[in-house]
Amino acid sequence: MQVVKQVYLLTEGFPPSELYGLTSQMRRAAISIPANIAEGWGRRYTAEFIHFLRQANGSRTELETLLMLSVEINLCPQEAAQAILEELQILGKQLNNLERSLQRRRRSP
């Protein structure tokens, strides 16, 4: 959820012409990460939780791409995007480790 806050603060500085473009896309991708984790946690089966963790990870990588793009087209400074990208890398490792743990738990008798 911290990443969502950071993305909202970052995109507040984007030009109004990007409100329905990159600003909206970045915010939706950011929001999708914790929303998918929460939805997966609320499901009944481990396989469904894993599915939603993968969705969250996809949104995470989408957001990484959009952040890099926003730097490339000079919407934000590299330093501002880098802080969020580092958080996203940590989150990616956490999501992958959780998925692996759940996979092992599903396989064990």
Distance CA 10, CA 84 (A): 9
Q: Tell me: the pLDDT tens digits for 21-75?
A: 999 999 999 999 999 999 999 998 999 999 999 999 999 999 999 999 999 999 9
- Inform me whether the pLDDT recorded for 109 exceeds 70: no
Model pLDDT, residue 75: 96
Distance CA 68, CA 52 (A): 24
Residue in this structure with the two tokens 């064990």, named with its chain if needed: 108
Model pLDDT, residue 11: 97
Query: For residues 58 and 29, is the Cβ–Cβ distance under 8 A?
Result: no
Q: Tell me: the pLDDT tens digits for 77-100?
A: 999 999 999 999 999 999 999 999
Give the predicted TM-score (pTM) of the model: 0.93
Question: Per the structure block, which two tokens stand in for 2?
Answer: 């911290």
